[in-house]
Amino acid sequence: MVNKNTNNNSSNDQLNADFWRDQMRKTLIESTGASVRLSGSKITNEEVAKIIDSEKNQKLYQCPECGFHYTDKEWAEKCEAWCREHKSCNIEITAHAEENKKYDSKI
């Protein structure tokens, strides 16, 4: 009986881990999309999801404060420093974010 509970707990742990990973991804997509839209962009959550998913294929650096993604680590660090100090985003910095590059290419 102990072995059955151990196996069952293991599968439950995996299901819980998958559930929370999915929840974190959804939250990241929604918060990043909202942040980008506040900066004046008309990007959709689906477009944000594509950018976030592209992290698997391309190394992107994310600002932990606002959620924008950058190909260059330096821009992500500048964004983080600005966001922490000013509690806002800097349009000159976020212009280099992948979210804004993806949207600009559609215009």
Q: What tens-digit pLDDT sequence spans the chain (107 residues)?
A: 445 555 556 667 777 788 887 887 788 778 877 777 777 777 788 888 887 777 666 788 999 999 899 999 999 999 999 999 999 999 999 999 988 876 554 44
Contact indicator for 76, 63 with CB cutoff of 8 Å:
yes
Instruction: For the chain, list the strands marked E by DSSP.
Output: 61-62, 69-70
Cα distances (Å, whole numbers) of residue 39 to 1, 8, 20: 57, 47, 29
Report the distance separating Cα 12 and Cα 22, nearest Å: 15
With CA atoms as reference, report the closest residue to 65 among 76, 73, 56: 76
Q: Quickly tell me which residue has 């932990």 as its tokens.
A: 64
